[in-house]
Amino acid sequence: MDIRFRNRAEAGAVLARKLERYRDMPGVLVLGLPRGGVPVAEAVATALNAPLDILLVRKLGVPGQEELAMGAIASNGIQILNDSVIRYMGIPESVVEAVTKREAEEIRRRERAYRGVRPAADLPGKTVIVVDDGLATGSTMKAAIAALRRQEPAKIIVAVPTASPETCEELKSEADEIVCAITPDPFYAVGFSYEDFEQTTDAEVRALIQSAAKRSPGID
């Protein structure tokens, strides 16, 4: 029988139970990938009594087929390209550059919208649990992991409520630990694992981040 979560908050609560060993552990930081990963991450952070922050990563969608990822970028300039998709679709380098430029501008906009003047958390030496609402191709999460490696955390744990079995297995070589609550097979799309998969808004992300900052003011 297929398991479906009511919404992202319930998915986060289920995921948190699989991360119970990190509850109240010093040096743990939960990072949500906006937008949809943030409500999941907030539920995880609350259950684990850990601080919450965000990591901005954007998928590079194929023009005209935006759900198909030809790569991803993160806020500190990391770019991961899906060469097989680019070759198969015959996508010119100029198109990749144009999409990358547009998504980089969106990352900067979201940084301002979500954080304001509040700085990002310090990551060196931390146990980082990076959370999204699900994994399909894994391009976005790979960019997130690459971006995090540059900041030298002690450990990177990828945690998602639902994922493609192949992607979950593939990411085991990228992260120090991966936790996928469910791995539907066949896997169609992340949204198939949710009853309510409405898009998370900028305002909702901002409210969750501000609320978490009040709960854990000292996350540096």
Split the chain (220 residues) into runs of 10 and give each run's mean pLDDT: 86 98 97 96 97 92 88 83 92 96 92 83 94 92 90 96 96 96 94 96 93 69
Domain assignment present for 110: no
Question: What are the angstrom distances between the C-alpha of 35 and each of 2, 41, 172?
Answer: 25, 10, 24
Domain assignment present for 78: no
Q: Give yes or no for a contact between 34 and 54, defined as CB atoms under 8 angstroms apart.
A: yes
φ/ψ bin of 83: left (φ > 0), alpha (ψ from -120 to 50), beta (otherwise)? alpha
Question: For 16, phi and psi rounded to 5 degrees?
Answer: -60, -35
In DSSP terms, 81 is beta-bridged to 71
| Predicted local distance difference test score (pLDDT) of residue 219 | 52
Domain extent for 27: 8-57+120-215
Cis peptide before 112 (omega within 30 of 0): no
Domain tally, the chain: 1
Please state, in angstroms and rounded to a whole number, the distance separating the CA atoms of residues 174 and 155.
11
Q: What is residue 5's three-state secondary structure?
A: strand
CATH code for position 43: 3.40.50.2020
Q: What is the pTM of this model?
A: 0.86
Domain assignment present for 95: no
Domain assignment present for 182: yes
Q: Give yes or no for a contact between 195 and 5, defined as CB atoms under 8 angstroms apart.
A: yes
The structure tokens 């992260």 sit at 175
| Predicted local distance difference test score (pLDDT) of residue 2 | 65
The structure tokens 């109240």 sit at 24
| Predicted local distance difference test score (pLDDT) of residue 1 | 44
Domain assignment present for 206: yes
